[in-house]
């Protein structure tokens, strides 16, 4: 699901770079990367982080997250210190979500908690070492 202010921005056929160039996320925006293909996830994550939205979430296993973070450090020159307060990966709050609907709720709950400034049990491993 792509949530944008204007319906014409929700085109899932565009490559990540092109889609993010058109959407132009600002420091007030929240971006969730959930392609499900490591190559597309990497490209979307790299492009989203370049644009500096307030929040970038990545859907995926802890193993996938660690692999993509390592690749970002090497290929894109991004360090974990710079990502620590913007990148949430794996995305979502730790509510024991088990199916797609519950995962979606945990992601939206994480975004709401950050918007409201409320402490919550994040799943993210960013900033926790290698």
* Residue 121 belongs to a domain: no
Q: How far apart are CA 64 and CA 12, in angstroms?
A: 22
Closest CA to 95 of 87, 106, 86, 104: 106
* Residue 55 belongs to a domain: yes
* Residue 62 belongs to a domain: yes
pLDDT (tens digit per residue) in 118-130: 999 888 888 654 4
Partners of 30 in the beta sheet? 55
* Residue 110 belongs to a domain: yes
* Residue 2 belongs to a domain: no
Higher pLDDT, 105 or 2: 105
Q: Above 50 in pLDDT, residue 3?
A: no
Mean pLDDT of the chain: 83
State which residues form the domain around 97.
7-116
* Residue 105 belongs to a domain: yes
CATH of the domain at 46: 3.40.50.720
Element (H, E) at 32: strand 30-33
Question: Residue 45 in contact with residue 58, Cβ under 8 Å?
Answer: yes
pLDDT (tens digit per residue) in 33-53: 988 888 888 998 888 888 888
Average pLDDT over residues 52-63: 91
* Residue 65 belongs to a domain: yes
* Residue 127 belongs to a domain: no
Look up the pTM and report it.
Answer: 0.81
Q: How far apart are CA 71 and CA 56, in angstroms?
A: 17
Provide the number of structural domains found in the chain: 1
């Amino acid at each position: 699901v792509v949530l944008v202010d204007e319906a014409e921005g929700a085109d899932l056929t565009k490559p990540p770079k092109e889609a993010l160039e058109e959407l132009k996320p600002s420091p007030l925006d929240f971006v969730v990367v959930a392609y499900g293909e490591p190559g597309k996830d990497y490209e979307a994550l790299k492009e989203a982080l370049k644009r500096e939205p307030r929040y970038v979430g990545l859907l995926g296993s802890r193993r996938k997250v660690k692999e993509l973070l390592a690749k970002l450090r090497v290929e894109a020159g991004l360090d974990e210190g710079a990502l620590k307060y913007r990148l949430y990966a794996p995305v979502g709050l730790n509510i024991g979500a088990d199916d797609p609907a519950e995962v979606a709720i945990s992601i939206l709950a994480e975004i709401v908690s950050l918007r409201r400034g409320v402490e919550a049990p994040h799943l993210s491993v960013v900033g926790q070492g290698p």
